[in-house]
Chains A and B, each alone.
Chain A
Amino acid sequence: MDQKATASAFIVDAQISLGRWRSKTRRGIVSQAAYDEDAVTMAARCGLAMLDRNPDVTPTGLMTATVSAPLPEPGMAPFLAEMLDIRSAADRPGPDVLELAGSVSSGVAAVAEAARRVTGGRGPVLVVVSDDRRDTKGRPLGAAAVALLIDSVGDVGSVTPAESGAELFLDRWQRRGTPGVQAGDRSLDRYSPAQGFADGLDADRVLLSTAFGPQIEGAGFPGCAAPLIGLFASDATEGRDLVVASSAGGISHAVRITVGSRFSDIREQAVDEISGGLRGKRPADPDESTFTPYSSQAMAYRERSQTFRLLAARNTETGGVVFPPPPAASSAGFEPFHLARTGTVMTFARDHVFPFGGPLSMAVVELDGGGRFYGQVADRLEVEIGDRVELVLRRLHDGGNVPNYFWKIQAATTWAT
């Protein structure tokens, strides 16, 4: 039986980020990724929100979990580590980056793992859990990410690893090369070890997730992220002890949470995000089968800081911002400067001639704090001069047979600024 440990890891902050669409399905309203969103882009959004909102906390570890990384190898962690700029601590040689996968219970496992590291003096740790989950026909089941910042002090709640378990039980699975998850004989579900695992936990209240539930109205069942969205959308109140348990594919993990004073703020944001998004018929994916844009892995490697972290340069005398930053040999008089991801539309164009996926709105944004951004308006929406907007990571194209990420423009939300 689980021993109640003295908590020494705490949730500092958390944010959920759903796919852009809320789509009606026979399972109710589920979150659905836009054609240019994936596990990485959803994770980016909430991971960046954690760093933006907590400038005094510098994570030295990144725990990620997904079963739907657009590149199963090397997964989503390298993209996130680059973008979130997870740095090494003074007493350790490199950043502590770990990606869990396999079962959707690895979302809870990532939180447990982070708590263990913080308890062992290896914090702060950023946990980012993300999935774009689909069925065998590619239909949406839920697309969402959750980010949690965990450290030795925090007032969203305390977190302590509880039980883990494993046995062979194929309730849901996904074959390599197929679009989504499949089930066999659903009457087998009642033999799942999940309920037994939950019943074995010493807790007043257990929030149990399996490979297929619970269905969260508005979010659906977004894989690894589902148990944590279930937590933050729950009616838990300050001071309550509860256990978040996840058991899928025979793999089970649980963490014990004592709800803190700021939990209700996170819940409010979670409810906002679930009730937000775009509704109506999601546009068909643009046909880009004949679009073969230039791509270079050497260039992508060399320019990773400017691409993922919008690293620019600022003239120390005039304050003028230059992006991309000038070549090293021309950089005298400039200092590194990161472009803000919020700003105001200066001008725009709605382009009907673009041969792939148009008509397409492009905009020039005057960024808060200096510099500009020129790029696509996401989701085929339109903007006007003076609109407040934010930059969101999207998959621009698949040139070179890899996802090429860059920033697109969408209407500003309150929590991302």
Chain B
Amino acid sequence: MGDLMGIAGEVAIVGAAMTRFGVLHDVGYLDLVAEAGHRAVTDAGLTMDAVDAAWLATAEPQTSGLIGDSGAAVAEALRFSPRPVTRVSNFCTSGMEAVRGAALAVAAGEYDIVLAIGAEKMRDVTPKGSLVAKTAEGSHPTLAKGRTAPGQFALLANRYLDTYGYPRHDLARVAMKNHRNAMSNPSAQFGSELTMEQVLEAPIVAEPLGLYDCTPTTDGGAAVVVASREWAQANASHYALIDGVGLSVTGGYVSNFFEESGDYLGFASTREAAARAYRQAGITDPRSELDLVECHDCFTITEIVNTEDLGLAERGKGVELLRSGATAHDGEIPVNVSGGLQACGHPVGATGVRMVVEIANQVTGRAGARQVAGATKGLAHTLGGPGVIACVMVIGADR
């Protein structure tokens, strides 16, 4: 499948940027799109005229008055007319879908320079009026009562802790690590250290997940410029290559909960997407071959099971990996050195693009204070909905 032509090793990330993430009442949705887009193009050493097409990721435009529900937002924000823009929405993997769509277009030879932008304006409404109300009121009538994102991942947390016998405070280690990491990320929503007590004593959101087990509600944007490897080798001052990419979609919102396949201990979507990305990138032992990982830590439990699904630890051993310090910034396989969703925040459409920005900068030695020394290969991973969509991208320096 797709072996004749493809993205792997043939598409480069030549520009990367993100806006500040946070509760940004002074900027609107179009400001986020414009800032991320212009800065990524500038980072590539280009002007907007050089860009042939754009992909836009915004998962839930109903929190921003439906602005961002189509590619029209890019034409408006970047004075991009009349060039083609495609908007994608694929739960929390939306951002990586924009990058993947742009990369597919380049791989297909249709365009030379393509911009992938992710943006989400969640805090024009209160957190309770944001995705919580959207899922409660907008869902299928039989799911309207009770389904929330924290509630869905708490199902996993309870099952995981019960099955493997870990205490709740092991979840807190994820929040502590990622908040500490964010102290060297000036764009993150949060930037201070958390104690175990603060995490454990925070108000409960969905037992056993407390406030600091959950990603906040965030505004933000991020963008990357993609081009062919040949173009990058001839023209770019810095670039990273997409070594492999996998997307897996395993079920629906309703069926996911009613079918017997899920074990509430991890996600088949991540395992499938990772298998494809690793195969393309020639990775057989991710823990030793990857220098760092950005994975989807929407809730603390999510990072733990993701590290297992991505093959960094055996099933049920993610907590031991975390306890060992291996996933800390100075560990053997750092996870979420940016601060992750936990501390950067999670503007849904922007998150996947932000992760690609982070890994592209890391493998090209441009990550500043949080640079992982000598990193040449990293992985970005997002997980969507109740865990039924996952995208995995391996990004490396050109060797």
Interface window among B65-73, B91-99, B114-122, B144-152: B144-152
A373 surroundings in chain B (CB, below 8 A): 257-258
Q: How far does the alpha carbon of A348 sit from the alpha carbon of B162 in the complex, in Å?
A: 11
Q: A293-B137, A353-B151 are in contact. Are A376 and B146 (CB under 8 A)?
A: yes
* Chain A CB within 8 A of B159 CB: yes
Chain B residue at minimum C-beta to C-beta distance from A312: B258
| CB-contact partner of B206 in A307, A350, A376, under 8 A | A350
| CB-contact partner of A350 in B203, B207, B254, under 8 A | B207
0/1 per residue, A3-36, Cβ < 8 Å to B?
Answer: 0000000000000000000000000000000000
0/1 per residue, B379-397, Cβ < 8 Å to A?
Answer: 0000000000000000000
* Chain A CB within 8 A of B125 CB: no
A376 surroundings in chain B (CB, below 8 A): 145-146
* Chain B CB within 8 A of A301 CB: no
B139 surroundings in chain A (CB, below 8 A): 293-294
0/1 per residue, A321-354, Cβ < 8 Å to B?
Answer: 1111000000000000000000000111111111
> Chain B's interface: helix, strand, loop or mixed, by majority?
helix
Q: A293-B144, A348-B155 are in contact. Are A353 and B132 (CB under 8 A)?
A: yes
Q: Are B146 and A351 in touch, CB under 8 angstroms?
A: yes
Distance of A203 from chain B, by nearest CB (Å): 49
Distance of A3 from chain B, by nearest CB (Å): 52
- B window 128-157: CB within 8 A of A: 128, 132-133, 136-142, 144-148, 150-152, 154-157
Q: How far does the alpha carbon of A366 sit from the alpha carbon of B155 in the complex, in Å?
A: 13
A354 surroundings in chain B (CB, below 8 A): 132, 136, 146, 148, 151
**Residues of chain B at interface, number, CB under 8 A:** 38
* Chain A CB within 8 A of B108 CB: no
A295 surroundings in chain B (CB, below 8 A): 141
Distance of A351 from chain B, by nearest CB (Å): 4
Interface centre among A293, A321, A385 (most CB of B within 10 A): A293
- A window 366-417: CB within 8 A of B: 366, 370-376, 385, 396-397, 399, 404, 406
| CB-contact partner of B146 in A346, A371, A375, under 8 A | A375
Q: Are A349 and B152 in touch, CB under 8 angstroms?
A: yes
Q: Are B264 and A347 in touch, CB under 8 angstroms?
A: yes
A293 surroundings in chain B (CB, below 8 A): 136-139, 141, 144-145
Q: How far does the alpha carbon of A349 sit from the alpha carbon of B158 in the complex, in Å?
A: 7
* Chain A CB within 8 A of B261 CB: yes
| CB-contact partner of B141 in A294, A356, A385, under 8 A | A294
* Chain A CB within 8 A of B81 CB: no
Distance of B212 from chain A, by nearest CB (Å): 14
Q: How far does the alpha carbon of A352 sit from the alpha carbon of B150 in the complex, in Å?
A: 9
Q: Are A294 and B138 in touch, CB under 8 angstroms?
A: yes
Q: Are A323 and B138 in touch, CB under 8 angstroms?
A: no
Q: Are A396 and B142 in touch, CB under 8 angstroms?
A: yes
Q: Are A322 and B158 in touch, CB under 8 angstroms?
A: no
0/1 per residue, A283-297, Cβ < 8 Å to B?
Answer: 000000001111110
Q: A354-B151, A385-B162 are in contact. Are A291 and B257 (CB under 8 A)?
A: no
Q: How far does the alpha carbon of A374 sit from the alpha carbon of B140 in the complex, in Å?
A: 13
A321 surroundings in chain B (CB, below 8 A): 258-260
| CB-contact partner of A404 in B128, B137, B141, B204, under 8 A | B141
Q: Are A346 and B259 in touch, CB under 8 angstroms?
A: no
Q: A349-B151, A352-B206 are in contact. Are A385 and B158 (CB under 8 A)?
A: yes
Q: Are B159 and A347 in touch, CB under 8 angstroms?
A: yes
A94 surroundings in chain B (CB, below 8 A): none
Distance of B252 from chain A, by nearest CB (Å): 9
Chain B residue at minimum C-beta to C-beta distance from A352: B204
Q: Are A322 and B255 in touch, CB under 8 angstroms?
A: yes
Q: Are A353 and B260 in touch, CB under 8 angstroms?
A: no
Q: Are A307 and B142 in touch, CB under 8 angstroms?
A: yes
* Chain A CB within 8 A of B373 CB: no
| CB-contact partner of B150 in A320, A353, A357, under 8 A | A353
B258 surroundings in chain A (CB, below 8 A): 312, 321-324, 371-374
Distance of B37 from chain A, by nearest CB (Å): 33
Listed A/B pairs (8) with beta-carbon separation below 8 Å: A348-B155, A349-B151, A353-B205, A353-B206, A396-B141, A396-B142, A396-B144, A404-B141
Residues of A at the B interface (CB closer than 8 Å) are 291-296, 299-300, 307, 312, 320-324, 346-357, 360, 362, 364, 366, 370-376, 385, 396-397, 399, 404, 406
**18 other A-B residue contacts (CB within 8 Å) besides A293-B137, A372-B260:** A294-B138, A294-B139, A295-B141, A320-B259, A320-B260, A321-B259, A322-B258, A346-B159, A347-B264, A348-B158, A352-B205, A352-B206, A360-B145, A373-B257, A375-B146, A385-B158, A385-B162, A406-B145
- The 9 A-B pairs at the shortest CB distance, nearest first, are namely A374-B257, A349-B154, A347-B159, A293-B144, A351-B151, A323-B258, A350-B207, A351-B206, A349-B151
